[in-house]
Amino acid sequence: MAETIPHAPSIVDKAIDGKAFAAGLVDRITGASARLRADHGVQPGLAVVIVGEDPASQIYVRNKGETTLRAGMRSDTHRLDAGTSQADLLALIAQLNADAGIHGILVQLPLPGHIDSTAVLDAIDPDKDVDGFHVVNAGRLAVGLPGMVPCTPLGSVMLLKDALGDLSGLNAVIVGRSNIVGKPMAQLLLAQNCTVTIAHSRSRDLPALCREADILVAAVGRPEMIRGDWIKPGAVVIDVGINRVPSADPVKAAEGKTRVVGDVAFKEAAAVASRITPVPGGVGPMTIACLLANTYVAACRANGVEPQPLDA
Ligand code: NDP
């Protein structure tokens, strides 16, 4: 009789499909928003503000607008020219804060140099701050109050819970301590009862720290910095990094063609990890889906309605 050879998981089996998970989440948000409209007459509304002509930002804003409309929400995009004064931008924010049909406000970063980004972000009503960058929302997250949670960490934790179930007691190491990814990710994992370490550019012996991690989150912005031998066998790796590097094909690279890679050397890491998010197609699609989730939740709270659970 032929012996059964156990199926060793391939890189494909190990890759966490953020694109598929995000599509499912957007479907659930679409259904929940339709019910909010049918039962309470409320259509969630998201306003996106972009200042200047940065091509990457223009693409992000267009994608956000299209996805918002597909989810059955109201989508307003305010395109301001690069010379817009800070006072005019703040006046627009005040107008959006006062608009009862707008539940979420997102100001696309980066803003032109003459505008103080912090002053603009802090002018957004915290309850409409669907990016979760307002200092009030950072504080709410830190003390465990309901607020708006930054989209990328929120989406990353959803993927982790889907891959691992209960995260209690696991060692999580986050490389990166930015206000938009590293720090909120640490708060969210602490709330999931992980033991959390935050590493950064001054951390000593980063490879040894990473090898302690059951969950390793890379949010550094350095292409493929985290190598396979930094990873504990069986760990789950969340690669938040988005880095544009020259094409792997030297001819295409000479023509200026590029490709996107994460902060983790994917193939090496996938050989050791149990699960890993690819770049692209891992965390990236979750960010925009969580923006819609936050807009739906903001619309519910503004109207005294309990949001439906959006978990799978
Ligand atoms: P920041 O530049 O704000 O933060 C980077 C962090 O990495 C800092 O805390 C820095 O440490 C740390 N760091 C830098 N170099 C090293 C090093 N050699 N060793 C250890 N730590 C280091 O970046 P963001 O948090 O905004 O973004 C991180 C990555 O995630 C980027 O690639 C970005 O493009 C991507 N990103 C992806 C999103 C998505 O939707 N998937 C959304 C947001 C970001 P220190 O504080 O000491 O300087």
- Is 181 touching ligand 1 by the criterion CB < 6 Å? yes
Is residue 86 within 8 Å of residue 79, measured between CB atoms? no
Cα angle at 283 between 165 and 302, to 5 degrees? 80
Number of other CB atoms surrounding residue 305 within 10 Å: 15
Tell me if residue 108 is catalytic: yes
Complete domains list, the chain, with CATH: 41-131 (3.40.50.10860), 151-285 (3.40.50.720)
Question: Which of 200, 244, 279 most suits a substitution to test ligand 1, by most atoms within 8 Å of the C-beta?
Answer: 200
| Number of neighbours of residue 8 by Cβ within 10 angstroms | 6
Task: Using the CB atoms, write b or e for 174-199: b if 16+ within 10 Å.
Answer: bbbbbebbbbbbbbbbeebebbbbbb
Query: Could you tell me what percentage of the chain is helix, strand and coil, using 3-state DSSP and rounding each to the nearest 5?
Result: 45, 15, 40
**pLDDT score of 167:** 98
Nearest residue (CA) to ligand 1, atom 17 = 201
Q: Is 130 in the pocket of ligand 1 (CB under 6 A)?
A: no
What CA–CA distance (Å, rounded) separates 63 from 50? 13
Give the distance from CA 211 to its chain's centroid: 24
Q: What is the mean pLDDT of the chain?
A: 96
Peptide bond preceding 207: is omega within 30 degrees of 0, i.e. cis?
no
Atom of ligand 1 nearest to the CA of 286: 40
Ligand 1 centroid from CA 24, angstroms? 28
Q: Is the CB of 221 under 6 A from ligand 1?
A: yes
Predicted confidence (pLDDT) at residue 12 exceeds the cutoff of 80? no
pLDDT tens column, 212-257: 999 999 999 999 999 999 999 999 999 999 999 999 999 999 999 9
pLDDT digits (tens, 9 = 90+) for 178-204: 999 999 999 999 999 999 999 999 999
Apex 119 CA angle, 130 and 217, nearest 5: 50
Phi, psi of 97 (to 5 degrees): -60, -35
Summarize pLDDT for 75-124 with one digit per residue, the tens.
999 999 999 999 999 999 999 999 999 999 999 999 999 999 999 999 99
| CB contact set of 13 (below 8 Å; sequence gap of 6+) | none
What contacts 24+ positions apart, CB below 8 Å, involve 110-116?
Answer: 110/54, 110/57, 111/51, 111/52, 112/51, 112/52, 112/82, 112/83, 112/84, 114/85, 114/86, 115/51, 115/84, 115/86, 115/89, 116/86
pLDDT band at 5 (very low <50, low <70, confident <90, very high): low
State which of 131, 159, 201, 261 you would mutate to test the pocket of ligand 1, scoring each by most atoms of that ligand within 8 A of its C-beta. 201
| pLDDT at res. 9 | 77
The b-or-e profile of 286-300 (16+ CB within 10 A means b, else e) is: bbbbbbbbbbbbbbb
Residues 137-150, mean pLDDT to the nearest whole number: 97
Among candidate residues 14, 108, 129, 187, the one labeled active-site is 108
Quick check: CB of 206 below 6 Å from ligand 1?
yes
pLDDT, residue 6, reads 63
Contacts for 5 with CB less than 8 Å, ≥ 6 apart: none
Best residue among 198, 240, 294 to mutate for probing ligand 1, ranked by most atoms within 8 Å of CB: 240
C-alpha to C-alpha distance for 148 and 130, rounded to whole angstroms? 6
